[in-house]
Structure 1
Amino acid sequence: MISPATIDEIKNRMDIVDVVGDYLTLKRSGSSYKALSPFTNEKTASFYVVPSKGIFKDFSSGKGGDCITFVMEVDGLSYLEALKYLAKKYGVEIIEEEQSDEAQEAQNKRDSLYILLNFAKESFQELLWESEEGKSIGLSYFKERGFTDESIKDFELGYTLSEWDHLLKAATAKGYRQELLEEAGLIVVKEEGKVYDRFRNRVIFPIHNVSGKVVAFGARMLGKDKKQPKYINSPETELYNKSRILYGLFQAKQDIRKEDNVYLVEGYTDVISMHQTGIKNVVSSSGTALTEEQIKLLKRYTENVTVIFDGDAAGIKASIRGIDMLLEGGLNVRAVALPEGEDPDSYAKQLGTSAFSHYIESESQDIIRFKTKLFLADAKDDPVKKAGLIKDIVRSITKIDDPVKRTVYLKECSDLLGISEAVLVAEQNKILIQQNRDKGKAGYQPGENLTPQDLLVAQPEEPEELDIMKVIELQEKESIRVLVNYGKSHITNHELVDEDLISYFLSEIEEIQFTNPVYKSILDIFKEKLLEGVIIDGDYLIQHGSEEIKREVVNLMTSKHEVSENWEKKFQIYIPKEEEQLKDVTYSNILRLKFRIVQHLIEEENRKLKEATNEDDIDILLDEINGLKKIEMSLAEFLGNVTVK
């Protein structure tokens, strides 16, 4: 376990804007920053970073917290791994202490896997550069592909010998256990007890996570054994989930942000060749179909994707079907097809740096136009094929959430296909309505996460009667919100005496029992710390509270909206800030809470009155209701803007 002093040093140095900015493109919004969520496929930015509080809040997924929480969520790291990542980023020396045996074992295992995979990578590199077989076969192959020494080293390429157990022997000699080698996917263990290296007589392409650590390997065969697949990859492990990894992203992420665009290609060599041409914002799905997780990963860095297709018409038609997922993920998609028989690797070498870059830029076009032209050439005058094409194109257009973009694409396709725009719109609406019916079958409720398409069929819900308990909970939330944001502040109380806000707050709500268990727990922590002579606020709870409390505190400390400074700068209209009127805000919140509690008590007494049969009981209940009504009227008079039922 990392020592508390080290953790404090990491927390003192970390900057939420700096940390999140390594993953997302942040845009200033008042005193905060916002970006598209890295956790959901949203179209409108709802991910907020609040520098003054050192926290982030993702309103679309509900996630929130500090730098450590963000790194854990976005990279799938443990708490300890996130701390180590931030320590390395900010140059903090790690000092560790003892932790539980179970936690230590789990962390040791992950650390050991990372260390072992790094050992394997270095072994493969050493064989490539220093062994006779590696130089004559592996290095020669890379040189023939046109890879420079710099590129080979940047991507940490390597080579494996033709021996059955070279890595196994080298690793066990260094003390690595066979079980760990198997868990890392480096060896294969047969039922009959035979053990051998997974990668043999192949050039090696290490696969990195976004932090730059090796998590797996891809390997290309160089021999002519037709029984062996050309490429093999590591199996999925505790560290490697292929659906969440994009080859080359670690090397490309900064350039993707800078260019605000990413090129998507098919293979490892395509990525490396494009890097050498100067196009470094390029990644590969490693020959597999794109997944939702990979699309979310791309969206952390840019909303713009250009797909580069190899010059193979049949291959393009087969792979373009998966492009709809990019559109559905809210990305702006363009495409470019290379000449027949070419791929990015071969064509980049053929044209050279500037000519290849010019070709990619000049030939790319939006994916809908690209797809329409491609399939239209195949359909020609065949009415059946053309009808299928129209449905296919319109189905792709419906994946686009922006109704304005959809309208533009429908008009453009109308011209390309020679079909009335009204016919295309009608087909679009049929598809959208069916999609929403399917959502209904899957448990979808109108009004839940509505998109513009959903408005075609969603019906407004009937208004619900006022639920006084929900209103009480909302008022509890508002009261606690002020406490976690301004708990360390001072106010002038009714006796014109300077007082801690927390002391004033607790004295005013002394007789109130909070109904929400999380808000009650937060309040109890404030009370306990005050008894210890310590005044806290939301920052303390984010560091020391339970996961449930941390999530709620981040919610309470983050807001999507703030008053624009232009009111004062441009129009000379001064709007008081909440922190300038804390006493009034705190007092009115508590009064509103008391007001709603009294209303609830009146409801309860009225319910008892309806069931009462004894005259004495009825008289007592009427007296109690009248007394509560007077309190209700008195509170309403104080508040001035509350309707009394």
Structure 2
Amino acid sequence: MGISKLTTDRVKERMDIEEVLGDYLPMKKKGQNLWANCPFHGEKTPSFSISPAKQIYKCFGCGKAGDPIQFVMDIEGIGFQEAIKHIAGRYGIEVEEDETRTPEQNEAQNERESLLIALGFARDFFVKNLQTPEGKSIGLSYFKERGFTPAIIEKFDLGYALEGWDNLLQGAKSAGFREDILLKAGLILQKEGDATRVYDRFRNRVIFPIHNISGKPLGFGARILTKDKNQPKYINSPETPVYHKSDVLYGMFQAKKAIREKDNCYLVEGYTDVVSLHLSGIENVVASSGTSLTDGQIKLIKRFTDQVTVLYDGDAAGIKASLRGIDLLLEGGLNVKAVVFPDGEDPDSYSRKVGSQAFQDYLENNSRDFIGFKIGLYKEEFVKNPIRKAEVIREVVQSIGKIPDPIIRSVYAKEASGLLGIEEDIIHAELNKTLLKSQKDHYNNKQDDLFAEQAMEELIPDETATSFSEILRIQEREMVRLLVNYGWQKLVDEEMHLCQYLLSETEELEFTTPIYNKILSLYRSNLLQGEIPTSEYFIGLGDQEVQKEVIDLITVRHEVSHHWADTHQIIINTESDDLTLTGFKSILRLKRKMVQKLMEEAKEKIKNAEAEHLDDDKVHEFQVIYFELKKVQLEIDKELGIVIG
């Protein structure tokens, strides 16, 4: 069923953007707003602005904008109702159902939610299995052998899948779940060639639930405990509508708070590595679950920290095979360190071998930045082999070239020069070659284009630089921007609001840009009902196109520091100081563009009339119209102080 309007209203009244977004990304206060690195695209300089006063966010890099509900929808990849439930759960708000929707509508709307509910049932089912005789003797016994405490087992929702073919299937059916939902969730399988034969995907294995960032299970990893050569050691949930392996890291839900506090993320390979580190008192740890790192996983880490420390098993061959991951982390803008364990040890085995404190000391004392780590890894190979040394230099330089920040690149080039015993100029020369050959500057070009577009929208451009239609669009935007930001304010010495003045002066004008026409129509409709709509009204409409545009209109990227006035006594005039003048000039600019548009149309009619050899009276009629419009333009130019040579 749908969520009642009362619940939605309670959530909107209670939610706070700083608290909701604070669960996902670190923020720093600058002026009246908070700033963060955008979680929706890779960046090193924060361009993601959060306004606590307006309860909105906007990224000046990729353009994402919205309120806390929209943020949760985008970051979790969920629908509106699920986002409301998520925020309601955070604040302890009881969710009331709306019974007006039909079962068919609910089924279509909530398939994703149904999958998450089914996965939640499976998690609880596997957890409860640990209390069965089979679960205690096999699953719980295994966890205890590894030193997993009851608190850790509960923290990670560890469980056990019973030996039979359809224990989960029958349990889920009894609880009311349909087979098609269980199939889509990856919990059961169909036998090849026999669609009627279905059975559990996970059987006779210990279970490691894989959570999303808010703690809901998306999938499972399952480890076999017997030595059966015909069975893989681990099997995992397949890709589903709710589980995308490339965007998930095991343990992130349990680690996100510690990662933010420690400003460092330990990256390991497997599930048991994560759990063992938690047992050792180290909670800022996640696992790639044995798969190669992806851009999505790197962006997930970067939401919480710029520092990552990769923990490697004591296997030189395996380390060299996985070095590609370090380059990906560097390319993602992360500062990378590495720790290598003694031969034959991994994070899980070594933490159990030496104990918590000694393990923590080892990590602290053996953490090396990626340059020292990579060079040390190959040192024995190139000490007596100049050719191999040249190859290592190129490999190191290629890694340095992945770093987006030029200052950090320069620092690492200097360090590499010292460690490799080679002139720094040679390192820089090779680095420049690598950078020139690189195809990785697409991202920077894209950002430059986005910033240029943003700047163009915020300024009144030169007519020679932009098409007429674009200039007209920007003038219409400016008109709507004033309405949304200041429409409710009264004009000095006038018995009217700014919106009444603007709308009365533009009543005859028709906007050419659909979104501004739409906002203008909504504005007029509210005025007819005696209400002056604010930005909050448009943001809360539920129309994503209108919401995004209005947030763009009310968000200012740069603000003047209060120190100019408080400390230096320098007063900066703003557009709101004299709204009568601001509104008057905005109307004149808009009318000027409309007049120019009519002039262009008149010129075109004159050309067509001459080309078609129409009588002189018709041509003269169009000429009179053109010159009358020209007079109007000159009057407007005079008012605006525009001088045309």
**TM-score normalised by L of structure 1:** 0.92
1:498 corresponding residue in structure 2: 495
Secondary structure at the aligned position of 1:571 is classed as coil
Secondary structure at the aligned position of 2:545 is classed as helix
Match of 1:279 among 266, 273, 282: 282
Q: What's the offset of the Cα at 1:287?
A: 0.9
- Deviation per CA, 1:571-618, whole angstroms, max 9, x where unpaired? 122224443322222222111222233334444444555666465455
Amino acid at match of 1:515: T
Q: What's the offset of the Cα at 1:522?
A: 0.7
- Deviation per CA, 1:443-494, whole angstroms, max 9, x where unpaired? 988964699xxxxxxxxxxx964422211211111111111122322223xx
1:268 corresponding residue in structure 2: 271
Distance change (3 Å), C-alpha of 1:601 and 1:375: farther
Aligned residues of 2:413 and 2:427 also touching (Cα < 8 A): yes
Q: What's the offset of the Cα at 1:82?
A: 0.1
- Deviation per CA, 1:269-318, whole angstroms, max 9, x where unpaired? 11111112111111111111111111111111111111111111111111
Q: Are 2:327 and 1:324 equivalent residues in the alignment?
A: yes
Which range is displaced more, 40-49 or 406-415? 406-415
2:127 corresponding residue in structure 1: 125
- Deviation per CA, 1:337-384, whole angstroms, max 9, x where unpaired? 111111111122222222222221222122133212213333333333
For 1:233-632, list aligned pairs within 5 A: 233-436=236-439, 448=449, 465-492=465-492, 496-544=493-541, 546-609=543-606, 613=610, 615-616=616-617, 619-632=620-633
Secondary structure at the aligned position of 1:5 is classed as helix
**TM-score normalised by L of structure 2:** 0.92
Q: Structure 1 CA distance, aligned partners of 2:446 and 2:8?
A: 45
Q: Structure 2 CA distance, aligned partners of 1:311 and 1:123?
A: 37
Amino acid at match of 2:644: V
Which range is displaced more, 617-626 or 243-252? 617-626
Q: Structure 1 CA distance, aligned partners of 2:111 and 2:466?
A: 54
Distance change (3 Å), C-alpha of 1:445 and 1:68: closer
Q: Structure 1 CA distance, aligned partners of 2:377 and 2:226?
A: 37
Distance change (3 Å), C-alpha of 1:103 and 1:42: farther
Aligned residues of 1:487 and 1:538 also touching (Cα < 8 A): no
Aligned residues of 1:472 and 1:596 also touching (Cα < 8 A): yes
1:455 corresponding residue in structure 2: none
Amino acid at match of 2:315: D
Q: Percent identity?
A: 50
Distance change (3 Å), C-alpha of 1:445 and 1:334: closer
Amino acid at match of 1:118: G
Aligned residues of 2:218 and 2:242 also touching (Cα < 8 A): yes
Aligned residues of 1:47 and 1:58 also touching (Cα < 8 A): yes
Aligned residues of 1:295 and 1:329 also touching (Cα < 8 A): yes
Amino acid at match of 2:547: K
Q: Structure 2 CA distance, aligned partners of 1:341 and 1:604?
A: 81
Aligned residues of 1:270 and 1:345 also touching (Cα < 8 A): yes
Q: What's the offset of the Cα at 1:101?
A: 4.8
Amino acid at match of 1:374: L
Amino acid at match of 1:149: P
Aligned residues of 1:632 and 1:644 also touching (Cα < 8 A): no
Distance change (3 Å), C-alpha of 1:304 and 1:132: same
Q: Are 2:73 and 1:76 equivalent residues in the alignment?
A: no
Amino acid at match of 2:348: D
For 1:209-248, list aligned pairs within 5 A: 209-248=212-251
Distance change (3 Å), C-alpha of 1:60 and 1:444: closer
Q: What's the offset of the Cα at 1:527?
A: 1.0
Amino acid at match of 1:305: V
Amino acid at match of 2:502: F
Secondary structure at the aligned position of 2:210 is classed as strand
Q: Structure 2 CA distance, aligned partners of 1:526 and 1:135?
A: 65
Q: Structure 2 CA distance, aligned partners of 1:573 and 1:340?
A: 66
Aligned residues of 2:268 and 2:285 also touching (Cα < 8 A): yes
Distance change (3 Å), C-alpha of 1:258 and 1:439: closer
Q: Structure 2 CA distance, aligned partners of 1:557 and 1:444?
A: 27
Distance change (3 Å), C-alpha of 1:111 and 1:626: closer
Q: Structure 2 CA distance, aligned partners of 1:278 and 1:163?
A: 37
**Structure 2 gap ranges (5+):** 453-462
Distance change (3 Å), C-alpha of 1:643 and 1:337: farther
**Structure 1 gap ranges (5+):** 452-462
Q: Structure 2 CA distance, aligned partners of 1:464 and 1:315?
A: 60
Q: Are 2:89 and 1:88 equivalent residues in the alignment?
A: yes
Aligned residues of 2:60 and 2:451 also touching (Cα < 8 A): no
Distance change (3 Å), C-alpha of 1:466 and 1:196: closer
Distance change (3 Å), C-alpha of 1:85 and 1:466: closer
Q: Structure 1 CA distance, aligned partners of 2:159 and 2:446?
A: 53
Aligned residues of 1:156 and 1:205 also touching (Cα < 8 A): yes
Q: What's the offset of the Cα at 1:558?
A: 1.2
Residue correspondences, number: 627
Distance change (3 Å), C-alpha of 1:383 and 1:107: same
Secondary structure at the aligned position of 1:60 is classed as coil
For 1:174-189, list aligned pairs within 5 A: 174-189=175-190
- Deviation per CA, 1:383-414, whole angstroms, max 9, x where unpaired? 33333222222111111111111111112212
2:136 corresponding residue in structure 1: 135
Q: What's the offset of the Cα at 1:52?
A: 1.4
Which range is displaced more, 594-603 or 298-307? 594-603
2:116 corresponding residue in structure 1: 114
Q: What's the offset of the Cα at 1:222?
A: 0.4
Distance change (3 Å), C-alpha of 1:627 and 1:377: farther
Which range is displaced more, 151-160 or 93-102? 93-102
Q: Structure 2 CA distance, aligned partners of 1:615 and 1:634?
A: 29
Q: Structure 2 CA distance, aligned partners of 1:564 and 1:577?
A: 13
Q: Structure 1 CA distance, aligned partners of 2:629 and 2:111?
A: 63
Amino acid at match of 1:529: N
Aligned residues of 1:218 and 1:233 also touching (Cα < 8 A): yes
Aligned residues of 2:189 and 2:198 also touching (Cα < 8 A): yes
